[in-house]
Structure 1
Amino acid sequence: MWQKSLAFVTALFLALSIGQSVFAAIDTSSMQKALDEDLKSTHYDYKKGSVEIEDPKTFTGEKGENIIGGIAVIETVRDGIFITIKREIHFYNADSGKLLTSADAAKVKGVKEYIDSNSDNLHQKVVYWLPMLLMLLIIAVPAIMLYVVVPRLYSTSEYMNPIYERNDNPR
């Protein structure tokens, strides 16, 4: 009996914790689409479809409109090898389907506190492994050629021995 009641209470807590997280989810798909379109024009090196929204929060605008704010994680690629991951705060009016400018977002109640609480999360990260790999190849390929190919290329003994044996040179 004790085991059944413990299993029931555990299942109840599990169901309630999952239910709260499901109800707390904010749909950011329309915000991602709008950001994807806007970032093409503002960032020339923006990698299409790479935007993700973290820590979304809903606000109520001056006229009662639903505004979604979130940290946008943006990936930019320059020259195919220089990758940068940027984190920026963006706001989206879910009723009109448009992104808000900083001036428009500042008018909304609670936005300043949201920006202040997430200001430590805004940073830019450069991915260094690909340029470093290419620089390593610039050094490694000539070194391998010097170590492997060049000794075989200029070996006079391997080249002359068959000639001496074939001509019966008395030397």
Structure 2
Amino acid sequence: MWQKSLAFVTALFLALSIGQSVFAAIDTSAMEKALDEELKSSHYDYKKGSVEIEDPKTFTGEKGEEIIGGIAVIETVRDGIFITIKREIHFYNTESKEMLTNADAAKVDGVKEYIDKNSNNLQQKVVYWLPMLLMILLIAVPAIVLYVVVPRLYSTSEYMNPIYERNDNPR
């Protein structure tokens, strides 16, 4: 009996802890759409629809409006092969439905602490595997042609070599 009650209490605490994290989630879909539109105009190499918001937090603006801040993970693609993943902090005003500039966001209480707390998470990562694969192919394909295909081609010098040796040898 004791084990069943302990299992029930453990399951109850687990269910309550999962439920609280679900209810505390912040809806960032509107922010992602607005940021997607803004990034198309500011980044020429932005990959459409690649925005993801991490660690969102709500703030209260000067006029009482709700402001959502978060780390945006952005993917850019140059020339179809050079992929870069950037992490930037952006802020969104939910009432006016527009992205805030850094100057406007700096006026909001708590934003400076949020930026300071997450400044070590801001980075830029370049994906090297695709350009390296193309470089390897540029070297490997001609090497394969030289070492596999070329020796199998018809060679007149190899064919005529025994005849030359027989006729040109004065022995």
Counterpart position of 1:90:
90
Q: Aligned ranges for residues 22-37 of structure 1 at < 5 Å?
A: 22-37=22-37
Amino acid at match of 2:22: V
* Structure 1 Cα separation of the partners of residues 68 and 30 of structure 2: 10
Could you tell me which runs of 5 or more consecutive residues in structure 2 were left unpaired when the two chains were aligned: 161-171
Aligned to 1:164: none
In the superposition, the TM-score normalised over structure 2's length comes to: 0.90
Residue by residue over 1:8-38, the C-alpha shift from the partner in whole angstroms, topping out at 9 and shown as x without a partner, is 1111111111111011100000000000000
- Name the % identity: 89
After TM superposition, the structure 1 = structure 2 runs for residues 1-171 of structure 1, keeping only pairs within 5 Å, are 1-156=1-156
Q: Helix, strand or coil: the match of 2:37?
A: helix
Cα distance in 1 for partners of 2:3, 2:49 equals 50
RMSD: 1.5
- Structure 1 distance, partners of 2:158, 2:33, is 67
C-alpha displacement of 1:158:
8.4
Using structure 1 for the length normalisation, give the TM-score: 0.90
Distance 2:37 2:14 in 1: 39
Cα distance in 1 between the residues matched to 2:87 and 2:75: 9
The whole-number CA distance in structure 2 between the counterparts of 1:119 and 1:86 is 13
Q: Higher mean Cα deviation, 56-65 or 9-18?
A: 9-18
Distance in 2 between residues matched to 1:62 and 1:44, nearest whole Å: 33
Q: Distance in 2 between matches of 1:142 and 1:87?
A: 39
Q: Give the AA of the match of 1:114.
A: Y
- Give SS of 2:15's match: helix
SS at match of 1:77: strand
Aligned length: 161
**Which whole-Å CA distance do the structure 1 matches of 2:159 and 2:101 have between them?**
75
Q: 1:124 is aligned with what amino acid?
A: Q
CA distance in 2, matches of 1:67, 1:73: 19
Structure 1 gap segments, 5+ residues each = 161-171
Q: Which moved more, 1:13-22 or 1:46-55?
A: 13-22
